[in-house]
Amino acid sequence: MEPKEFHWPFSAVYSWLTCFMEAGYRDLAKRMKIQDAARSLLDLGGGDGRLSIAIARKYSNLRHIVSGDISQDMTKRAKRRITYGNLSSTISAECLDMHALPYSNAQFDAVVSFGALHHARSPQVMLLEAHRVLRPGGYMCMIDGYDRPSFSTIRKAVRDFGGSFAAAIAYWCGSKDCLSHDAIASLVSNESLPDITVVFDGLLATISGTKTTMKNEAIEQRCPG
């Protein structure tokens, strides 16, 4: 089964709708609280690069950011947006599968994600892969919705960040695949992720923690081939 992805023209529509949500991405970047010592960061399910760009502008300590997405069209859009924002020296956009990352163990100081967990064909494998490529002492932060809310609730949240009615419809349609509260809680109860916890706050679940173990590196190391 192939991973879900945004194919054209859906990728174009999604990218256009989120262009009104810049304030939301700035808020997400602030919420993620990247460590001052971090120099490298991987953004999983990075889409058209908006979150990576917001993070780069918020955290000047970061020297290398990878915005990774399985959609080739989204990756192309991210590359154009990064170039337009004069951030090519800091951010690169890569087409990749978050279930089988093409990176060696302990390669990144931080791994983040917004809204990608519910697109994963195996959320557990996605988390384990993110943990694998995170260095000891590195920070993981993944934010996603849970327990699909009502349209009026999503409409208010989108409006608060400058999003349009059309954007609210898009987010609500996308939220049909959101994991339940219990499903997300069970993901971090896995003994391979002893240093990762989840906090449920309003519409969002934040899965985060500082890596203190190499335990799940028993997973076969994957390197670029």
Per-residue confidence (pLDDT) for residue 20, from 0 to 100: 63
> Mean pLDDT highest for which of 21-30, 112-121, 174-183, 189-198?
112-121
Per-residue confidence (pLDDT) for residue 17, from 0 to 100: 67
- Residue 37 pLDDT level (bands cut at 50, 70, 90): very high
> Is the per-residue pLDDT at 2 higher than 50?
no
- Residue 1 pLDDT level (bands cut at 50, 70, 90): very low
126-153 pLDDT tens trace: 999 999 999 999 999 999 988 888 888 8
Percent of the chain exceeding pLDDT 70 equals 87
159-218 pLDDT tens trace: 877 777 877 887 777 777 889 999 999 999 877 899 999 999 888 899 999 999 655 444
- The closest alpha carbon to 42, from 31, 55, 30, belongs to 55
Percent of the chain exceeding pLDDT 90 equals 61
Per-residue confidence (pLDDT) for residue 148, from 0 to 100: 84
Per-residue confidence (pLDDT) for residue 214, from 0 to 100: 56
Per-residue confidence (pLDDT) for residue 190, from 0 to 100: 74
- The closest alpha carbon to 112, from 53, 152, 164, 174, belongs to 53
Distance of alpha carbon 19 from alpha carbon 161, whole angstroms: 11
Task: Classify domain 10-146+180-212 by CATH number.
Answer: 3.40.50.150
110-143 per-residue burial string, b: 16 or more CB within 10 A, e: under 16: bbbbbbbbbbbeebeebbbbbbbbbbeebbbbbb
Locate all alpha helices (DSSP H) within 19-118, ordered by sequence: 22-32, 50-58, 72-84
- Per DSSP, the three-state class of 75 is helix
pTM: 0.87
Per-residue confidence (pLDDT) for residue 221, from 0 to 100: 46
> Is the per-residue pLDDT at 73 higher than 80?
yes
Torsion of CA 64, 23, 3, 191, to 10 degrees: 70
Per-residue confidence (pLDDT) for residue 216, from 0 to 100: 47
Distance of alpha carbon 179 from alpha carbon 146, whole angstroms: 5
How much is the CA Rg of the chain, to the nearest whole Å? 16
Question: Which amino acid belongs to residue 52?
Answer: S
- Per DSSP, the three-state class of 218 is helix
Torsion of CA 9, 123, 104, 44, to 10 degrees: 40
Expressed in percent and rounded to 5, the helix, strand and coil fractions of the chain are 40, 20, 40
